[in-house]
Structure 1
Amino acid sequence: MNTLCVRFLLTPMYEAVLPQLLALLGEFTPQVEALLPDGALMDVSGARRYFGRSAVELAALIRVRTLALYGVECAIGAGPSPMLARMALRGAAPGVTRAVPEGPDGVREFLADRPVGELPGIGRATARTLCEYGLDSLGKVAAAPLSTLQRLVGARAGRELREKARGIDRTRVVPNSAARSLAVERPFPRDELDPFRHRRALLSGAEELGVRMRGEEQVCRALTLTVRYADRSTTVRTRTLPEPTAHSTALTTAAYRMYEALGLQRARVRAVALRAEGLGPAEHASHQLTFDPADEKARRIEEVADRAREKFGPGAIVPGTLAA
């Protein structure tokens, strides 16, 4: 068991303590890969020998320290490789470490009955194709002839799919650091089914991000949407923006498109979060002229609204949808 996948629970204080949380993980091993917006991968093969503890014991220590020092709870998946640790994390509740059983037989048993859609790197289209041919579990994919998989998904993809379904993972933990970013979270008072309220929360979050970035004279290059459901599972989507921006309308449009692509008509949503990625100075960003009167008018209104907020407070002007 050489890899841990840690997911920190999103809280209003999460963004501020993210660098400290990653630094805490770095006290156990220098092999830490940040997984924005809310987690990290750790290679603990050296830490196991140094501390004389198993991966599961190290995970328990990490949970205690993050909660005691920063008040942040986390869930952890443990496995022999990054892929298996990520998959173990999917079923881990807050405050729990879920480990892949030891040995080849344990890995085979862990993977056998799992839906193909749970395999990292398998998109919806590929999963749908495999299911149409009866390959709806990883055990069936692992037992299928290589030639069959290659006919369905392509030569290279078929070979990689077969290896992953058999627990063979050639990826490694790549140390990095969390990119400069800003985040907002909108929890619901109860699990929310209404798409209108989902979109209202996204509008509120995008407006706040835009105001904060413009106040700091920053722009972002990408936007990440995190949706947390009633069963504590999450969906994360990232969209690269056409140009670096802090324009609230552009951020809202990107957030709406990511949300609509998820098809959450009957999903019980517990919270949504938006994170502006790849921040940089606004003075170095260029804006493509559109000659669109509506766009220019929106930007002028935004400037006026920002001045009013600066003088009278952040709640002085809000979109009409949020004021209702």
Structure 2
Amino acid sequence: MNTTSRTRPRAILRIHFHPAERTDELYGQLLAVVDGISSRVEPLPADWSAYVDLTGALTYWGRDAEGVIAVLRLRLLALHGVQCSAGAGPTRSIAAMAADATPPGAATVVRDDPYGIAAFLRTKPASALPGIGPRTAKTLARYGITSVGDIADTQLPTLQRILGTTAARLAHDRALGIDERPVVPGAAPRTMSASRRFDRDELDPDQHHRAVLGLVQELGGRLRTSGEIAQALVLTVTYADRSQTTRTRTLAEPTAHTPALAETARQLLTVLGLQRARVRTLTLRAERLRPAEDAVHQLTLDQRDDKLRRLETALDKAATLYGPRVAGAASTFPRAGWRPARRA
């Protein structure tokens, strides 16, 4: 089993947070707890996770990886009531694979030695290796390569003929437990979110649509008030059984313009296909925020767009004076004579 030589064993942690409700404030608080264990934290807000380099923390705390992770899990639960799932190993890819295979409330630790690495990696399906998606896994399977062990045992020139030079090199290295990518500490990219929790499980697609439009209005107004633009939108649906589905889409151009945000939000909602879903909560998050002065608005001869922007300014002023929900798109308000759809 080939591994790169290092002066001391590395311990990389991938941790996933599993709160009942997701808010930007809570994510920041959870990262603060992690930072109390190790200052080398790389936030990954898109899926509510983070990488943590525990190498120095093991010496500081005088514990092994299992002991440090146990302390972290207890703190997260005691301070915020949040369960987590954690995977740790000598590399980022092994930590990610271990975390993906671990249920909430548990941890998986892979030892930094050739035998522990091989025992963990070799029996995993090829698709479990980071960088190997379903399509690549099908391609490999046609050549009889179905496990991570098979990738490790295949000669690199053969893999390169199948996958290409770069992809083959990465897959081969990671299958052998080689991945020198460091944890890159930094603040979480700024995000902004809004949520709508229904009184009861909501089955009506029209209500889902109205709720998402209302969230778009709220986010758009807050972005313009703070002088920021969003580069992507994330829609998270929480169902009656508390399971969640998340979809992300990059905006055509960074913006805080409500119609542009609404178009992307509609696309996300359509992709989710919630025709008969029992929805409890809808959360819309604007990601990768930037200062509004960085915006590049495409010139257009469409006078309707200019009118909408002027209307947007007037609505923002009304919201400042009278509250955020005093005015908005008509489709976010119940129609005259409208009756609520039957709810579960």
Class of the TM-score when normalised by the shorter of the 2 chains: 0.7 to 0.9
Task: Quote the offset at 1:227 in angstroms.
Answer: 6.3
CA distance in structure 2 between the aligned counterparts of 1:132 and 1:274, rounded to whole angstroms: 40
Residue equivalent to 1:282? 292
Choose which of 221, 224, 230 in structure 2 pairs with 1:214: 224
Residue equivalent to 2:31? 22
1:283–1:102 distance in 2 versus 1, CA, 3 Å: closer
1:193–1:178 distance in 2 versus 1, CA, 3 Å: same
What secondary structure does 1:34 align onto? strand
> What letter matches 1:77 in structure 2?
G
Choose which of 113, 116, 138 in structure 1 pairs with 2:148: 138
What secondary structure does 1:290 align onto? coil
Residue equivalent to 2:189? 179
Whether 2:97 is the aligned partner of 1:75: answer no
Residue equivalent to 1:243? 253
Residue equivalent to 2:301? 291
**Percent same amino acid at aligned positions?**
43
What secondary structure does 2:93 align onto? helix
CA distance in structure 1 between the aligned counterparts of 2:315 and 2:145, rounded to whole angstroms: 55
Residue equivalent to 2:177? 167
> What letter matches 1:30 in structure 2?
S
Task: Quote the offset at 1:235 in angstroms.
Answer: 5.5
Choose which of 315, 319, 323 in structure 1 pairs with 2:325: 315
CA distance in structure 1 between the aligned counterparts of 2:130 and 2:278, rounded to whole angstroms: 23
What secondary structure does 2:327 align onto? coil
TM-score (norm 1): 0.81
Whether 2:74 is the aligned partner of 1:47: answer no
Residue equivalent to 2:315? 305
Unaligned runs of 5+ in 1: none
1:112–1:284 distance in 2 versus 1, CA, 3 Å: closer
Residue equivalent to 1:31? 40
User: 172-181 vs 187-196, which deviates more?
Assistant: 187-196
- The aligned length equals 323
CA distance in structure 2 between the aligned counterparts of 1:298 and 1:165, rounded to whole angstroms: 54
Would the aligned equivalents of 2:41 and 2:53 in 1 still touch at CA under 8 Å? yes
Would the aligned equivalents of 1:12 and 1:185 in 2 still touch at CA under 8 Å? no
Task: Quote the offset at 1:233 in angstroms.
Answer: 7.6
1:204–1:6 distance in 2 versus 1, CA, 3 Å: farther
CA distance in structure 2 between the aligned counterparts of 1:196 and 1:133, rounded to whole angstroms: 48
1:69–1:124 distance in 2 versus 1, CA, 3 Å: same
CA distance in structure 1 between the aligned counterparts of 2:206 and 2:149, rounded to whole angstroms: 40
Task: Quote the offset at 1:160 in angstroms.
Answer: 1.2
CA distance in structure 2 between the aligned counterparts of 1:264 and 1:141, rounded to whole angstroms: 39
Choose which of 6, 11, 36 in structure 1 pairs with 2:15: 6
Would the aligned equivalents of 1:227 and 1:273 in 2 still touch at CA under 8 Å? yes
> What letter matches 1:84 in structure 2?
I
Task: Quote the offset at 1:61 in angstroms.
Answer: 1.0
> What letter matches 2:41 in structure 1?
V
Would the aligned equivalents of 2:87 and 2:99 in 1 still touch at CA under 8 Å? yes
What secondary structure does 2:52 align onto? strand
1:150–1:13 distance in 2 versus 1, CA, 3 Å: closer
1:236–1:13 distance in 2 versus 1, CA, 3 Å: closer
1:302–1:11 distance in 2 versus 1, CA, 3 Å: farther
> What letter matches 1:59 in structure 2?
I
CA distance in structure 2 between the aligned counterparts of 1:98 and 1:192, rounded to whole angstroms: 37
> What letter matches 2:180 in structure 1?
R
What secondary structure does 2:315 align onto? helix
Task: Quote the offset at 1:243 in angstroms.
Answer: 3.1
Choose which of 75, 82, 89 in structure 1 pairs with 2:99: 89
Residue equivalent to 2:338? none
Task: Quote the offset at 1:238 in angstroms.
Answer: 5.5
What secondary structure does 1:75 align onto? strand
Task: Quote the offset at 1:169 in angstroms.
Answer: 1.6
Taking only aligned residues, the RMSD between alpha carbons, in angstroms, comes to 3.6
Would the aligned equivalents of 1:101 and 1:110 in 2 still touch at CA under 8 Å? no
TM-score (norm 2): 0.77
CA distance in structure 2 between the aligned counterparts of 1:158 and 1:3, rounded to whole angstroms: 24
CA distance in structure 2 between the aligned counterparts of 1:134 and 1:208, rounded to whole angstroms: 52
Task: Quote the offset at 1:226 in angstroms.
Answer: 5.3
Task: Quote the offset at 1:99 in angstroms.
Answer: 2.6
1:110–1:8 distance in 2 versus 1, CA, 3 Å: same
> What letter matches 2:221 in structure 1?
V
Q: Per-residue displacement from partner, 1:212-242 (whole Å, max 9, x unpaired)?
A: 2123232223334556787968656462x34
